[in-house]
Structures are given as structure tokens and as C-alpha cells.
Amino acid sequence: MIDLREKMNQSLYFPTLATLDGRKNFINILLEEIKAGRLKAYDPMDINASTTYSDITIKMGAITKTESITINAAGATRDTTITQDAKPEEVKQLLLYEQWYLIKNFQNPM
């Protein structure tokens, strides 16, 4: 568990928005790699089940919904689409799993 609120981990949390002087925060780097398919993400409730980038963004608050709004006193309505982006800057903790491989009988070539 990496708690991004701890002082020693704040370099992983900042900058919170986009890129600053060529730097990105850790969650945005992870999301870019998951979106590109170079990193596999798993459901936090079942580490044997993988999850998708779109599932992750939905869990981080991304929504798209259509609502009918009244535009005049006569009751005329029109549909409007409301889109809200994910909020990776609100992620305060990361749960990472790692897998180690030990090689037996490793021969040092030197």
C-alpha cells in the first residue's frame, strides 16, 4: 500500500494536474500504461480478475449521462449530455502487487 499523503511519497503525488516541467504523477503514468495496454490492472476486490481502463475511470468518477432539460415555459425539452472526467488527482492510496521470480542454479558468467 502506497499512501500518497505521507511526506516520503509526495513526489509520487505531485504534480496533480497534467505535466509540470516534464514530470507526471505516478497515478497518471500508471493510467497511461494501462490505457496503452502495456500494464495489466486487476480488480482490487479480486486480484485474479483483470479490469479495464474504462472500468478504472468509472470507479474514479467518470460518467456520461443524458438528461432532458426544460428550455422554456411551454415545457419544451431537449436532451443534453453531461460528461464528467475521471479524477485521478483524488487518488490518495495505491495498492500494488508484485511478483518475484527466483532463478535457481544461476551461473554468474564472470
The string of pLDDT tens digits covering residues 59-91 is: 888 888 888 888 887 778 888 888 888 888 888
CA–CA gap between residue 91 and residue 29 (Å, rounded):
13
Q: In the chain, what are the domain boundaries?
A: 2-94
7 phi/psi in degrees, rounded to 5: -55, -40
Please tell me the predicted confidence (pLDDT) of residue 38. 94
**C-alpha cell recorded at residue 78:** 431537449
Please tell me the predicted confidence (pLDDT) of residue 7. 95
Please tell me the predicted confidence (pLDDT) of residue 106. 67
More confident residue, 76 or 5: 5
Question: pTM of the predicted model, to two decimals?
Answer: 0.71
> Would you say 67 and 46 are in contact if contact means Cβ atoms under 8 Å apart?
no
More confident residue, 86 or 106: 86
Mean pLDDT of the chain: 86
Please tell me the predicted confidence (pLDDT) of residue 36. 96
